[in-house]
Amino acid sequence: MSWIERRRREEYYRKAKDEGFRSRAAYKIKQIDEKFSLIENGFRILDLGASPGGWSQYLSLVNPEGLNVAVDVLPMRRVKNVHFLRGDIFEEDIWNRVLEPSPKGYDLVLSDILMHTSGDRSRDQANSFFIAKRVLEICQHVLAKNGKALVKTLQGDLTEELRAEFKKRFGRVFLTKPPSSLPRSPEVYILGEHFSG
Ligand SMILES: C[S@@+](CC[C@H](N)C(=O)[O-])C[C@H]1O[C@@H](n2cnc3c(N)ncnc32)[C@H](O)[C@@H]1O
The strand pairing partners of 136, in sequence order, are none
- What is the rounded CA–CA span in Å between residue 113 and residue 63? 21
Strands (E), 53-181: 67-72, 82-86, 106-111, 143-154, 170-176
Q: Is the CB of 165 under 6 A from ligand 1?
A: no
197 residues of the chain, pLDDT tens digit each: 677 777 777 888 888 888 889 999 999 999 999 999 999 999 999 999 999 999 999 999 999 999 999 999 999 999 999 999 999 999 999 999 999 999 999 999 999 998 877 778 888 999 999 999 999 999 999 999 999 999 999 999 999 999 999 999 999 999 999 999 988 889 999 999 999 98
**Measuring from atom 5 of ligand 1, which residue has the nearest CA?**
50
Contact status, residue 108 vs residue 38, Cβ threshold 8 Å: yes
The amino acid occupying position 122 is S
How large is the C-alpha radius of gyration of the chain?
16
Q: What is the pLDDT of residue 1?
A: 65
Q: Give φ, ψ of 108 to 5 degrees.
A: -145, 130
Please tell me the pTM assigned to this model: 0.95
Q: Give residue limits of the domains in the chain.
A: 3-195
Q: Are strands 143-154 and 187-195 parallel, antiparallel or unpaired?
A: antiparallel
The CATH code of domain 3-195 reads: 3.40.50.150
- Residues serving a catalytic function are 152
Note whether 76 and 70 are within 8 A (CB): yes
Taking the CA of residue 90 as reference, the ligand 1 atom at the shortest distance is 19
